[in-house]
């Protein structure tokens, strides 16, 4: 038997371990393991860090995406509102044209124009104007009350996404508004075209009827006739296209017609009496010698101090070249008393020879009284009035060459 206290053999010591009894462990206990690293805790921290990075990256992507989406929506809204603003400007311009036209038509229709505007023209113009007013009213209701409110870009992505949705909705509404405004603007233009056509036709026809007042009211004064001619010309020039000045010129045209009618009545009243028929016949004869030349007639017992009381037939003429030319012939009552004698015809022809100078002023020296009287005498002779009352008795016989020249003035 070996002693339990003896040292182990070399074979036992070779494995570099102590006997169980020296280690203080019982024979059935395993030897302690060397210490290990806390792997599980490191992995947990690693996963937490990766998760945080991924979460931060996702959040950043959401933020960037929401920010870009907001910017895109804002750009879309800006483009839509720019187009809408352009449509609004076009509609406002159309409304301005409509307002001017309907104001003009309203003034014309409100004028008491007697028969200048026919019932059919008045009805057609009223209908067209009503349609234009309605189109303007509709378009006005489509104009936005103000610009779209600016939206600040929110920071958080969920707020930015929501704001972008509202911007896209605003852009969609602006595009719909633009479409409606474009359509309304075209409707205004269509109705204005109809008003222009109807109004131009009605007012031009009215001006033509007004011009007819001149022939229907002979005798009327040169002043009233010239005023009427001026207004007829102005109204026609403003009728196509209809211009706003018609609000004043059309009533002025109606007034000019009334003045012609009034002067016609006043002239007849002034010429009434025992010599009325002779005067009117004589005046008609004078106008027939120079058709289209405006001639006023004034009657008096004495002209240049001569007349019936001293046994003379006397007359004188003044003429003007402006406004197409016109004249005033003054005759003694003795001429009407002797009507329709050859001498009365001859002296009236002499005076008309002066009046027709407005057409033939280049045919003789109009600045010299002697050549003017020779011309009037020659013109009367060229018209076939050879009675010495044609001016021969007062101024002598004119040269044959002047008579030939005067024959070219008609």
pLDDT tens for 215-256 read 999 999 999 999 999 999 999 999 999 999 999 999 999 999
On average, the pLDDT of the chain sits at 90
Average pLDDT on 116-132 reads 96
Distances (CA, A) of 50 to 86, 143, 384: 54, 56, 128
- Is the predicted pLDDT of residue 60 greater than 60, yes or no? yes
pTM of the model: 0.77
Please name the residue that has the structure tokens 């018209």.
383
| pLDDT at site 42 | 62
Dihedral in degrees, nearest 10, Cα atoms 214, 217, 218, 223: -60
Q: Model confidence at 7, in pLDDT bands (50, 70, 90)?
A: very low
Please name the residue that has the structure tokens 């109807």.
198
Average pLDDT on 263-267 reads 97
- Is the predicted pLDDT of residue 5 greater than 50, yes or no? no
- Cα–Cα distance for residue pair 52/28, rounded to 1 Å: 49
- Is the predicted pLDDT of residue 160 greater than 80, yes or no? yes
Q: Model confidence at 40, in pLDDT bands (50, 70, 90)?
A: low
Q: Transcribe 176-230 into DSSP letters.
A: HHHHHHHHHHHHHHHHHHHHHHHHHHHHHHHHHHHHHHHHHT-S--HHHHHHHHH
- Is the predicted pLDDT of residue 35 greater than 90, yes or no? no
| pLDDT at site 36 | 60
- Cα–Cα distance for residue pair 295/339, rounded to 1 Å: 19
- Cα–Cα distance for residue pair 270/343, rounded to 1 Å: 25
φ/ψ region of 148 (left if φ > 0, alpha if ψ in -120 to 50, else beta) reads: beta
- Cα–Cα distance for residue pair 173/185, rounded to 1 Å: 18
| pLDDT-above-90 percentage for the chain | 81
- Is the predicted pLDDT of residue 16 greater than 50, yes or no? no
From the number of C-beta atoms within 10 Å of its C-beta (0-12, 13-18, 19+), residue 361 rates as: middle
- Is the predicted pLDDT of residue 17 greater than 50, yes or no? no
| pLDDT at site 262 | 98
- Is the predicted pLDDT of residue 2 greater than 60, yes or no? no
- Cα–Cα distance for residue pair 328/74, rounded to 1 Å: 80
């Amino acid at each position: 038997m070996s002693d339990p206290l003896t040292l182990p053999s070399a074979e036992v010591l070779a494995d570099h371990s102590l006997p169980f009894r020296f280690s203080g462990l019982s024979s059935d206990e395993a030897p302690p393991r060397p210490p290990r690293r806390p792997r599980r805790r490191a992995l947990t921290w690693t996963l937490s860090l990766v998760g945080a990075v991924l979460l931060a990256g996702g959040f950043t992507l959401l933020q960037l995406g929401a920010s870009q989406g907001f910017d895109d929506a804002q750009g879309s809204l800006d483009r839509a509102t720019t187009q809408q603003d352009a449509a609004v400007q076009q509609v406002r311009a159309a409304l301005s044209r409509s307002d001017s036209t309907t104001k003009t038509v309203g003034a014309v229709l409100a004028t008491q124009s007697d028969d200048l505007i026919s019932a059919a023209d008045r009805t057609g113009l009223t209908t067209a104007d009503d349609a234009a007013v309605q189109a303007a009213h509709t378009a006005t209701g489509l104009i936005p009350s103000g610009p779209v409110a600016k939206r600040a870009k929110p920071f958080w992505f969920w707020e930015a996404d929501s704001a972008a949705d509202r911007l896209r909705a605003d852009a969609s509404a602006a595009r719909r508004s633009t479409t409606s405004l474009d359509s309304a603007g075209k409707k205004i233009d269509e109705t204005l075209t109809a008003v222009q056509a109807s109004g131009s036709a009605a007012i031009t026809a009215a001006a033509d009827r007004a011009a007819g007042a001149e022939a229907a009211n002979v005798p009327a004064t040169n002043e009233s006739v010239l005023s009427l001619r001026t207004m007829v010309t102005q109204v026609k020039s403003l009728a196509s296209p209809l211009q706003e000045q018609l609000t004043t010129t059309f009533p002025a045209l109606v007034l000019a017609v009334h003045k012609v009618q009034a002067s016609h009545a006043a002239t007849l009243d002034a010429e009434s009496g025992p010599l009325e028929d002779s005067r009117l016949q004589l005046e008609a004869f004078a106008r027939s010698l120079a058709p289209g030349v405006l001639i006023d007639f004034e009657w008096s017992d004495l002209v240049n101090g001569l007349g019936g009381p001293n046994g003379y037939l006397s007359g004188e003429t003044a003429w003007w070249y402006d406004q197409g030319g016109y004249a005033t012939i003054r005759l003694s009552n003795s001429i009407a008393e002797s009507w329709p004698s050859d001498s009365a015809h001859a002296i009236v022809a002499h005076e008309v020879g002066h009046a027709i100078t407005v057409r033939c002023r280049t045919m003789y020296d109009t600045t010299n009284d002697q050549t003017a009287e020779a011309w009037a005498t020659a013109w009367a002779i060229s018209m076939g009035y050879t009675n010495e009352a044609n001016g021969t008795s007062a101024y002598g016989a004119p040269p044959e060459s002047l008579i030939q020249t005067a024959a070219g003035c008609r």
